[in-house]
Structure 1
Amino acid sequence: MLASIPNKRESGFSLIELMIALVLGLFIIGGVLAVFMSSSASFNSTAALSRVQENGRFALEILAEDLRNTGNRSNCWGDVVDVINTADSDYEADAYDLNNPIKGWTDAAGEFFVGDLTGYQANTDLVIVKHAADASGVVLSANIDSTDTTFPVTGGVVQGAILLLSDAAGCDLFQNTAATNSASVKRGSATGDAKIGNKAVSGQPLSHAYISTGSTDISQLSSALYYVGSGAFSATALRSVHYDNGVANDEELVEGVTDLAFLYGVVSGASSAVDYTSDADVVSDWDDVVAVRVNVTVQNEDIIHNFSTTVALRNRLP
């Protein structure tokens, strides 16, 4: 007689239990994804804000440093004598006249520099700042007379550099026409990279003789036009055009800058009060400008922030 074998029931999850487990799993996965997406959005927002703040501070630092040096003439406190050829077609007073070191515009239309700009953003301000606070890299190595055209130096400088020869007695602005890194600099006629050249010595000698001691300095003209134009990695950027060597050299400085505005602090008459209500269209005499209020707008993704600072032109302070 055969023994009976008990029938074992196999146990497992029912269809309903599986469906409940799947739904719970989906809720858990959805929660994890929500946390991840929220953290990712927060990270991106923080990174964008940091980039905006970084670019805003950087833009203000660049502008403020140049503005503080406005009108610097190295060792000279009097008017600059223009040995550079002011009659040449490539000469533009707003770019090279160190006696008038600052000027602004509220639009670029019709101005001498309009062809030098890259993607200029209409209705944003522009300003040009000139000074001779930058070292040229050369030092006068022998005494020179006012009628000399070649000035012996140690060091080197490029052909075409616009230089300021100065001491306590006066200063002379000229374009170096000697070959790059020569043993001397020269105030000759336009040649090679020296597109402007200089006046003839018979018509415009140096203001005085210079001696080769620590009292004589040869510094380089810095002439920079700041504006908002197109950017390489952003739609707009802070850009500058430098005219230091007699030709326009345009470059991008800070990405993400969308607007640039200036208010000029003006002191006129007997009053010592500074009036900051003047934009470039209102300023009647740029010699009265003693400070500049700078406003920069920076954007990264959806974050837009305004930055501002006020800069005193220290070479015009009493």
Structure 2
Amino acid sequence: MKKSKGFSLVELMVAMLLGLLITGAALQLFLANQQSFALQQTLSRVQENGQLFVRFLVSDLRRAGLERDGIAALPPEKGIRFTLSGTVPGSDNGSDYDRLTLGYHGLSDCEGSVVSDLTEVVNTYFVNSDAELVCQGNLTGGNGVVLLDGIEAFEVLYGIDENKDGYANVSRYVEAGSQGSSPVIAVRFSLLLREESNSLPESDGTRKFYVLTKTVDEPEDRSVRRIFMSTVKMRNYQWDAV
């Protein structure tokens, strides 16, 4: 008798099973890589957006208090404005989010409005009801320009010099309204930025984020959160008051 050639039914079933296992493993690897890529994209986006805002605000703070000849002098507090008349609010430590207002002599505000002659530019940074960080300028009276969204905390502290020894050294950091008559020579700000990500498992809600003087409890969701902070030494302040 001649031996039959080809594969037996058992061999075919084993081959099919091995093929399914290999296909399943490859599919799992593909999905894992896809989730990892999506998570990395979200992390990069949060990091980039946060760093861009920090650089933007640091640059604006370094201009705060800048005075030019041929124009009315700035108020005694110079760069940081705690009280203002008109529609633009001053710096404040609100119950939900802080507000930062600064002024200097210039030709354009943070909204991109431009004037032909030097004037006092006042920019106010605040978080609106949609959790967007907005900058409102004073030149055209607009509603402000959105710089970031997904803001869960925005806190600002002011470094004051209480020694009056002729050296600009920070004695302590205080909230808006607690600076008294001491000059502000530094500003420290921090924000908590959030972006949703389906690539993360749902949080158990036990983590806490410490944003300067504010503590934020992490909700049970699937979001990426990052804290950004910077301290800026003021370049223009009341030299005769330190």
Where 2:67 maps in the other structure, the secondary structure is: coil
Seen in structure 2, the aligned counterparts of structure 1 residues 42 and 230 have a Cα distance that, compared at 3 Å, is: farther
Would you say how many aligned residue pairs link Structure 1 and Structure 2? 200
Cα deviation digits, residues 142-168 of structure 1 (max 9, x gap): xxxxxxxxxxxxxxx98xx6x8xxxxx
Displacement, 1:240?
Answer: 1.5
TM-score, length-scaled by structure 1? 0.55
Cα RMSD for the two superposed structures: 3.1
1:225 paired with 2:225, answer no
Cα deviation digits, residues 130-152 of structure 1 (max 9, x gap): 2113369xxxxxxxxxxxxxxxx
How far, CA to CA, are the matches of 1:78 and 1:134 in structure 2? 14
How far, CA to CA, are the matches of 1:123 and 1:275 in structure 2? 26
Cα deviation digits, residues 161-211 of structure 1 (max 9, x gap): 6x8xxxxxxxxxxxxxxxxxxxxxxxxxxxxxxxxxxxxxxxxxxxxxxxx
From 229, 234, 237, the counterpart of 1:308: 229
Gaps of 5+ in 2: 76-82, 197-222
Q: Could you say which residue in structure 2 is the equivalent of 1:275?
A: 171
1:49 paired with 2:43, answer yes
From 99, 106, 122, the counterpart of 1:133: 106
Q: Is the 8 A contact 2:98 2:156 kept in 1?
A: yes
How far, CA to CA, are the matches of 1:260 and 1:239 in structure 2? 11
Displacement, 1:269?
Answer: 4.4
How far, CA to CA, are the matches of 1:311 and 1:42 in structure 2? 36
Gaps of 5+ in 1: 1-6, 82-92, 97-101, 108-121, 137-156, 164-217
From 138, 143, 154, the counterpart of 1:249: 143
Seen in structure 2, the aligned counterparts of structure 1 residues 77 and 242 have a Cα distance that, compared at 3 Å, is: closer
Taking the TM superposition and a 5 Å limit, the aligned residue runs for 1:188-267 are 218-229=117-128, 236-245=131-140, 247-267=141-161
Residue 84 of structure 2 aligns to which amino acid in structure 1? D
Seen in structure 2, the aligned counterparts of structure 1 residues 80 and 310 have a Cα distance that, compared at 3 Å, is: closer
Q: Is the 8 A contact 1:226 1:239 kept in 2?
A: yes
Q: Which has the larger displacement, 307-316 or 268-277?
A: 268-277
Tell me the percent identity: 28
Seen in structure 2, the aligned counterparts of structure 1 residues 133 and 278 have a Cα distance that, compared at 3 Å, is: same
- Larger Cα Rg: Structure 1 or Structure 2? 1
1:26 paired with 2:12, answer no
Q: Is the 8 A contact 2:157 2:187 kept in 1?
A: yes
From 60, 63, 76, the counterpart of 1:66: 60
Q: Is the 8 A contact 2:65 2:74 kept in 1?
A: no
Q: Is the 8 A contact 1:55 1:255 kept in 2?
A: no
Cα deviation digits, residues 73-108 of structure 1 (max 9, x gap): 222697359xxxxxxxxxxx6156xxxxx942121x
Residue 97 of structure 2 aligns to which amino acid in structure 1? T
